[in-house]
């Protein structure tokens, strides 16, 4: 007798062109590609970036309706979801809403009136990625967190509500010790697991990626590193930094392919990379036509250097050296501290870019590869636990 399928509502930030967020439902679908799971994919808005290699998302309103009708399991798919509000998330999707939010006074009004929540949901859910079964209108639904990130903000008036919601979850796995410690302070237990995107190289081999990309491989430098930077995550003196980077590339005898990874509003890597390109003939800007372009460029490179966590995770997955940038990025620095430890420098300051050649020349590839193999097993073990917890 055939078992009835388990209903899975997969919620992630895959409703915007941001490489890392688009990976979560793809990886989840590959792991849960079995007959006894019925997986539906959701964001806070309906989207279809299939032209970019992504899976479509249904809206949050549809999620609420489906949960009420079917119950089952809501899996929060990954990313820095603790504790992003409706207002913040919508600014990453809508450029017009993001433009309005540039004014502090207008942004405060939008948040106070709960404009984004009213537009995007049927109400009831205080924070979209931290719902309780009660908020979703079905006491029997199981809430599961798949290796997520973020932390509590001190003295926020909603902290008691948020901790109560998390305590109602069936299973919580987080991707850094910083997140785990933050939750523990509010009495919430969690399991530590690497970011699920780490196993991407198990599903996408380099030779397979070559058939999925849109970029012209013949136009790439023979030897290159991938360089990326978020528009609001760069140095104060961008010109001086670019000159220092160029000097390091000369010592390494490589060029740099400048590749945007986040192109959603308030990420806009392409804008700052366009400014960097003008600094040297060694810099080559390549705008990805799909997410496989990003994956292929990093996997084929001599190293990845940048401010994107999933740029780092892609490099680690394919055993490519990586150098995280910007000491102010807690998400990036804490992930490297949790999973790479003494084998990685942590985030490099912009004024420390002159250490790049030394770091890459002394890269401990074999030792990091062994760590990656162990961590991939942990990702699969985390998915196994999620399957066990599903109703």
Query: What are the tens digits of pLDDT across the range 220-257?
Result: 999 999 999 998 899 999 999 999 999 999 999 999 99
Contact 285, 258 (CB under 8 A): yes
Question: Fold identical between 6-192 and 201-369?
Answer: yes
**Structure tokens given for 202:** 């198990």
Of 12-16, 83-87, 152-156, the range with the highest mean pLDDT is 12-16
User: Residue 2 has what pLDDT?
Assistant: 58
Q: What is the pLDDT of residues 43-82, one digit of tens each?
A: 999 999 999 999 999 999 999 999 999 999 999 999 999 9
Higher-pLDDT residue of 352 and 154 is: 352
According to DSSP, the residues that pair with 73 across neighbouring strands are 8, 142
Phi, psi of 332 (to 5 degrees): -70, -45
Q: pLDDT band at residue 210, thresholds of 50, 70 and 90?
A: very high
Contact 289, 314 (CB under 8 A): no
User: Residue 357 has what pLDDT?
Assistant: 95
**How far, in Å, are 1, 68, 256, 313, 342 from residue 197 at the CA level?**
35, 30, 24, 7, 22
Q: Which residue has the tokens 């220092």?
A: 244
Q: Which of 71, 9, 73, 2 is nearest to 39 (CA)?
A: 9
Q: Is the pLDDT of residue 140 over 90?
A: yes
Q: Which of 304, 321, 284 is nearest to 227 (CA)?
A: 304
3-state secondary structure of 30: helix
Cα–Cα dist 373/18, whole Å: 26
Q: Is the pLDDT of residue 267 over 90?
A: no
Residues 6+ apart with CB under 8 A from 229: 269, 272, 273, 276, 306, 307, 325
Q: What beta strand segments (E) does the chain contain?
A: 6-11, 37-42, 73-76, 79-82, 142-150, 171-174, 191-192, 224-227, 255-258, 283-285, 304-306, 322-324
Q: pLDDT band at residue 102, thresholds of 50, 70 and 90?
A: confident
Q: 122-126, 180-184, 322-326, 385-389 — which is least confidently predicted?
A: 122-126
Count CB neighbours of 264 within 10 A. Answer: 20
Residues 6+ apart with CB under 8 A from 201: 299, 317, 318
User: Residue 92 has what pLDDT?
Assistant: 86
Domain ranges of the chain: 6-192, 201-369
Q: Is the pLDDT of residue 35 over 80?
A: no
Count CB neighbours of 314 within 10 A. Answer: 30
6-192 has which CATH code? 3.40.50
What average pLDDT does the chain have?
94
Phi, psi of 135 (to 5 degrees): -60, -35
Q: Is the pLDDT of residue 1 over 70?
A: no
Q: pLDDT band at residue 99, thresholds of 50, 70 and 90?
A: confident
Q: Which residue has the tokens 């078992």?
A: 3
Q: What is the pLDDT of residues 288-304, one digit of tens each?
A: 999 999 999 999 999 99
Fold annotation for 201-369: Rossmann fold (3.40.50)
Q: pTM for the whole thing? A: 0.95
Q: pLDDT band at residue 280, thresholds of 50, 70 and 90?
A: very high
Work out the angle between the directed axes of helices 309-317 and 291-299 (0-180°, nearest 10): 60
How many Cα atoms sit within 13 Å of 209 on the Cβ side? 22
Cα–Cα dist 55/273, whole Å: 27
Q: Is the pLDDT of residue 282 over 70?
A: yes
Percent of the chain with pLDDT over 90: 82
């Amino acid at each position: 007798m055939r078992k009835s399928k388990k209903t899975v509502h997969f919620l992630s930030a895959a409703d915007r062109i941001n490489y890392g967020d688009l990976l979560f439902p793809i990886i989840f679908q590959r792991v849960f590609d079995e007959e006894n799971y019925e997986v539906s994919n959701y964001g806070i808005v309906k989207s279809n970036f299939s032209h970019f290699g992504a899976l479509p998302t249904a809206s949050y309103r549809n999620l609420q309706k489906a949960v009420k009708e079917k119950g089952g399991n809501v899996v929060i798919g990954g990313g820095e979801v603790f504790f992003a509000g409706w207002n913040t998330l919508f600014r990453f999707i809508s450029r017009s809403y993001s433009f309005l939010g540039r004014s502090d006074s207008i942004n405060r009004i939008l948040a106070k009136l709960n404009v984004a929540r009213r537009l995007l949901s049927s109400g009831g859910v205080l924070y979209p990625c931290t719902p309780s079964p009660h908020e979703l209108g079905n006491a029997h639904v199981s809430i599961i967190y798949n290796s997520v990130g973020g932390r509590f903000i001190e003295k926020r008036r909603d902290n008691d509500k948020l901790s109560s919601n998390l305590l109602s979850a069936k299973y919580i796995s987080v991707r850094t010790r910083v997140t785990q410690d933050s939750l523990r302070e509010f009495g919430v237990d969690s399991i530590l697991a690497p970011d699920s995107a780490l196993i991407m190289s198990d599903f996408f081999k380099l030779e397979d990626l070559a058939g999925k990309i849109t970029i012209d491989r013949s136009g790439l430098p023979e030897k290159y590193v991938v360089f990326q930077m978020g528009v609001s995550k760069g140095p104060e003196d961008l010109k001086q930094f670019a000159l220092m980077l160029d000097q390091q590339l000369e010592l390494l005898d490589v060029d740099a392919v400048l590749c945007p990874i986040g192109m959603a509003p308030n990420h806009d890597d392409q804008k700052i990379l366009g400014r960097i390109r003008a600094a040297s003939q060694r810099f080559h800007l390549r705008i990805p036509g799909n997410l496989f372009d990003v994956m292929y460029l990093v996997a084929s490179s001599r190293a990845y250097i940048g401010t994107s966590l999933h740029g780092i995770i892609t490099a680690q997955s394919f055993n490519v050296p990586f150098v995280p940038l910007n000491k102010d990025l807690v998400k990036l620095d804490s992930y490297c501290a949790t999973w790479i430890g003494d084998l990685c420098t942590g985030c490099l300051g912009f004024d420390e870019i002159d250490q790049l050649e030394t770091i890459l020349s002394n890269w401990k590839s074999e030792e990091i590869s062994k760590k990656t193999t162990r961590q991939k097993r942990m990702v699969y073990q985390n998915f196994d636990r999620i399957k066990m917890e599903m109703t």
